[in-house]
Amino acid sequence: MNKEDLTRATVAADPKRDWIPSSLDLRDTWFPMAYGAEVGSRPLRRIVHAQNVYLWRDNGRIRAAEFLPGLIERMRPGASMFTGGSAYYPVHERYGYVWVWYGDPERAHEGLIPLIPFLPADGVGIPRYTQRSVRFDASTALSVENLIDLTHADFLHANTIGDGQSESDVVEFSSTSETLTRTRIVTRKSVAPVMRWVGGVRAQYQDLRAVLHVHLRNNLCISYPSFTPGYAIPNVQPFVPVGRHRSRVDQTNYTVHAPAPFRWLMPRISYIIQPQDNAVLRPQNARYLEPGQPRDMSSRFDAPGNRYRVLMTRLAERQRQGDFSYGADADPARDIADILGMHG
Amino acid sequence: MEKGHWWTVALTEQLAGAKPLAVVCDGRQLALFRNADGQAFALDDRCPHRRVLLSPGVVKPGGLQCPYHGWTFDGASGKCVDIPNLRRDEKIPAATVRAWPVAEANGFIHVFAGEGEAHDRLPAAAYRPQGREYTGSAVAGIGFDEYLDVMLDGPECLLAFPGVLITDFFLGEPRRDGAHLVLDRGAVWRGRGLGPAFVSDHPLLVRTRVPLAGGDIRVELLNAGEEALVTVQVAATANRRGTTSLAWRGFAHARVHAGPLGWRLRRLAGRAPFAVFGTIDGRAIAALEKAPSLARRGIIPIAAHRHEHACAAEESFA
Parent domain of B98: 5-113
- B113 and A CB contact within 8 Å: yes
Q: B224: domain CATH number? A: 3.30.530
**Does B189 share its domain with B296?**
yes
**Does the distance separating the beta carbons of A284 and B52 come in below 8 Å?**
yes
Model pLDDT, residue B191? 84
Say yes or no to pLDDT of A208 above 80: yes
ipTM reported for the complex, 2 dp:
0.86
Cross-chain CB nearest to B49 (options A5, A297, A300): A297
- B46 and A CB contact within 8 Å: yes
Chain A residues touching B114 at Cβ < 8 A: 2
Nearest in space to B8 (alpha carbons), one of B280, B245, B252? B245
Q: State the Cα angle at A319 between A317 and A325, rounded to 5°.
A: 130
Model pLDDT, residue A66? 97
- Which of A127, A150, A171 lies at the terminal end of a domain, its last residue? A127
**Does A29 share its domain with A148?**
no
**Does B139 share its domain with B41?**
no
**Does the distance separating the beta carbons of B52 and A283 come in below 8 Å?**
yes
Q: Give the tens place of pLDDT for each residue, A38-92.
A: 999 999 999 999 999 999 999 999 999 999 999 999 999 999 999 999 999 999 9
Q: A88: domain CATH number? A: 2.102.10.10
Count of the separate structural domains present in chain B: 2
**Does A82 share its domain with A220?**
no
Is B123 among the domain residues? no
Strands (E), A112-259: 131-136, 168-175, 179-190, 205-215, 220-228, 235-241, 247-253
Within 8 A by CB and 6+ apart from B176, the residues are B182, B212, B302, B303, B304, B305, B308
Is B128 among the domain residues? no
Model pLDDT, residue A204? 85
Q: B15: domain CATH number? A: 2.102.10.10
Q: Residue A114, class by beta-carbon neighbours within 10 Å (0-12 exposed, 13-18 middle, 19+ buried)?
A: buried
**Does B171 share its domain with B288?**
yes
**Does B109 share its domain with B140?**
no
> What are the two backbone dihedrals, phi and then psi, of residue B312, each rounded to the nearest 5 degrees?
-60, -40
Q: A253: domain CATH number? A: 3.90.380.10
Q: Which of A168, A277, A280, A302 to mutate to test the interface with B (most CBs of B within 10 A)?
A: A280
Cross-chain CB nearest to A280 (options B67, B71, B90): B67
Q: Which of A151, A154, A189, A309 to mutate to test the interface with B (most CBs of B within 10 A)?
A: A151
Is B281 among the domain residues? yes
| Percent of the residues in chain A that have a pLDDT greater than 90, as a whole number | 67
**Does B70 share its domain with B146?**
no
**Does B101 share its domain with B208?**
no
**Does B214 share its domain with B307?**
yes
**Does A75 share its domain with A145?**
no
Is A1 among the domain residues? no
**Does A84 share its domain with A173?**
no
Is A13 among the domain residues? no
**Does B204 share its domain with B266?**
yes
Chain B residues touching A279 at Cβ < 8 A: 56, 67
Is A2 among the domain residues? no
Nearest in space to B142 (alpha carbons), one of B132, B131, B133, B154? B154
**Does B262 share its domain with B171?**
yes
Is B125 among the domain residues? no
Per DSSP, A296 falls in state P
**Does A118 share its domain with A153?**
no
Is A5 among the domain residues? no
**Rounded distance between C-alpha atoms, residue A297 and residue A302, angstroms:** 9
Q: How many CB pairs under 8 A join A and B?
A: 77
Say yes or no to pLDDT of A5 above 50: no
**Does B219 share its domain with B299?**
yes
Count of the separate structural domains present in chain A: 2
**Does B92 share its domain with B167?**
no
**Does B235 share its domain with B278?**
yes
| Percent of the residues in chain B that have a pLDDT greater than 70, as a whole number | 94
The pTM of this model reads: 0.88
Residue type, B299: I
Parent domain of A158: 129-340
Kindly indicate the confidence band of residue A17, based on its pLDDT and cuts at 50, 70 and 90. Answer: low
Kindly indicate the confidence band of residue B199, based on its pLDDT and cuts at 50, 70 and 90. Answer: confident
A-side interface with B, Cβ within 8 Å? 1-5, 149, 151-152, 154-156, 164, 169, 279-280, 283-284, 287-288, 293-294, 296-302
Nearest in space to A142 (alpha carbons), one of A63, A60, A246, A58? A246
**Does A75 share its domain with A179?**
no
